[in-house]
């Protein structure tokens, strides 16, 4: 089982997952040496403290401050933790002034709303808290979009099956 699969299965509750897109991450970044190359970036599964330090090194931001900022806006982050749907993308798509330009606008929205980086961690099931936390371990994922938006998604381990 890959490190990411183990994380998504709730087997690595003390770890964090980082995804940094190729557009965002410098070609000679040391994070490329310790991460797993994906089609569009690098993904790392690291122990919590190391992961927060790597996040700060790769983004220049404090991990928990970033998560706190992103938490205020709901979006969709894929289970693969390397893509998402920016909540601002629909607003941009709806602003299309001309139906003939719709295809061009959708292409621009895709590029304008591509995920630049993702931070994710898991929280152990906690029946005392209730809600989804009573249902199982919860994955918390936070994304930063090319447009500058920050958004969050969370789900109970095993609840979602999307991988794209």
pLDDT tens-place string over residues 39-64: 889 999 999 999 999 899 888 999 99
The token duo for 16 is: 């964090």
Q: What is the residue whose two structure tokens read 């700060």?
A: 56
| Residue 162 covered by a domain | no
| Residue 144 covered by a domain | yes
Q: How confident is the model at residue 161 (pLDDT cuts 50, 70, 90)?
A: low
Domain of 28, in residue numbers: 3-156
**Element holding 70 (H helix, E strand):** helix 63-70
Its pTM stands at: 0.84
| Residue 109 covered by a domain | yes
| Residue 163 covered by a domain | no
pLDDT score recorded for residue 111: 77
What span, in angstroms and rounded, lies between the C-alpha atoms of 66 and 86? 16
Mark out the alpha helices in the chain (DSSP H runs).
3-8, 31-34, 48-59, 63-70, 89-94, 102-112, 132-135
| Residue 161 covered by a domain | no
Q: Looking at the 3D structure of the chain, how many domains does it have?
A: 1
């Amino acid at each position: 089982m890959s490190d990411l699969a183990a994380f998504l299965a709730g087997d690595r509750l003390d770890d964090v997952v980082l995804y940094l897109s190729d557009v965002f991450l410098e070609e000679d970044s040391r994070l490329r040496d310790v991460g797993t190359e994906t089609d569009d970036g690098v993904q790392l599964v690291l122990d919590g403290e190391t992961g927060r330090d790597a996040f700060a090194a790769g983004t220049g931001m404090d991990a928990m401050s970033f998560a706190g900022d992103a938490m205020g806006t709901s979006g969709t982050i894929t289970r693969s933790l390397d893509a998402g749907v920016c909540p601002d993308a629909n607003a941009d798509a709806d602003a299309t002034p001309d139906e003939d330009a719709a295809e061009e606008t959708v292409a621009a929205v895709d590029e304008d709303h591509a995920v630049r980086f993702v931070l994710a961690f898991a929280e152990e099931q906690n029946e005392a808290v209730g809600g989804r936390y009573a249902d199982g371990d919860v994955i918390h994922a936070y994304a930063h979009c090319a447009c500058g938006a920050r958004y969050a998604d969370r789900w109970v381990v095993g609840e979602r099956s999307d991988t794209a």
